[in-house]
Amino acid sequence: MKLVIFLFLFIVFLITPVFAAVTAEDKEQISSQLDILENSVNSGRIHGLENLISPNAEAGLINEINDAIRKEKIDYEIESIDSFKEIEDAGVKVKCSVAVSGANWNMSGFSNFFIFEKVDGNWLIIDTDFHEKLSSDYGLKIFGLVFLIMGAVFLLIIIMGLGIYRYLRSKSKTVLEKSVSVKPDEPEYQGVGIRFVATIIDLTIIFMITILAYTFLLIPYMNQSQKTGALYSTVLFISTSFLLVFPFLYYIILEGWKGATAGKMICKIRVVKEDCSQCDIKSSIIRNLFRLIDGISGYLVGAIVIWSSDKKQRLGDIIAKTVVIKK
């Protein structure tokens, strides 16, 4: 028992100095330095920032900070100081939740770190990443990362969907061939499985085109609107309209012109009229306008209607008098 108590006290003795090293007075001084940094960034006072940087900081740090601040007028706000953590060499690492905004953009909900060291009784910054997140470029990097992750997820879903479809198709092939309900000259209507795979492919393509258009067309327009004083609401209206209209145009034009979207072409299915004649623009518009209803709850409504239809038609197909068949 005495040995246990001794070990406990020994461990407490070792740990206590670590937590006691950052005193309340130190925290107050560091917080004050961060207030000065925030005010200096917002006012563009470079001299105020130079006084906050440690002489032991990496060469070029102050120049990188100055370049980031001069790039554009920004509003930098430290919303909260989340943690003070002692690190080796008597330094303190501080993590803050911040928000940054420019003329036509804003970002929030991310963090900055500041590493302070004590020099002649003052806490000065020896390293930080806050200057790397002072422009919309950082948001675009995060946006691109999310795009890559979502693209990978979509591709994985497509691969899994195709694999499941081929497995189910191989298992049911014998049954379909022997089924007396399907006549030799009757088209092979396509059900939920393969159409779901085609939809996932199409949504992936739509997503990728939308992201590329947003990145290379709308972002430059935003920057131009900032320079010319154009209203940001105009940019917002254009981007919102594009996001709403483009998916419908994608389906309407391709199905009305070729009878199949890219996803349907890959899955070797196509849209035709009930008499197996070529689907036209009028029929394509009707069937795709009702996609809003069929698409409720992740196309659950459309799936239920397809399962209950002899010709495996969703609501849009029934009203437009179209069917989806194998090529």
Task: State pLDDT tens for residues 43-100.
Answer: 877 777 888 888 888 888 888 888 887 777 788 888 888 888 888 766 899 999 888 8
End position of a domain, from candidates 134, 162, 197: 134
Q: Is 44 helix (H, G, I), strand (E, B) or coil?
A: coil
Same domain for 143 and 130? no
pTM of the model: 0.51
Same domain for 47 and 124? yes
Q: Specify the residue for token string 């105020």.
A: 48
Compute the Cα dihedral for 96, 110, 78, 116 and give only its sign: positive
Same domain for 15 and 87? yes
Same domain for 128 and 152? no
Residue 195: partners with Cβ closer than 8 Å, 6 or more residues away: 267, 269, 306, 324
Helix (H) or strand (E) run with residue 321 in it: none
Task: Tell me the longest C-alpha to C-alpha distance in the chain.
Answer: 93
- Range of 121-125, 182-186, 222-226 with top mean pLDDT: 121-125
End position of a domain, from candidates 86, 114, 134: 134
Number of domains in the chain: 2
More confident residue, 220 or 298: 298
Task: State pLDDT tens for residues 239-294.
Answer: 677 778 888 999 999 999 999 999 999 999 999 999 999 999 999 999 999 988 98
The neighbour count for residue 233, using CB atoms within 10 Å, is: 9
Helix (H) or strand (E) run with residue 257 in it: helix 232-257
Task: State pLDDT tens for residues 123-148.
Answer: 999 999 888 887 767 766 766 666 67
End position of a domain, from candidates 134, 156, 189: 134
**Residue span of the structural domain in which 252 resides:** 138-326
Q: Which two tokens stand for residue 227?
A: 């320079």
Tell me what pLDDT residue 216 has.
Answer: 66
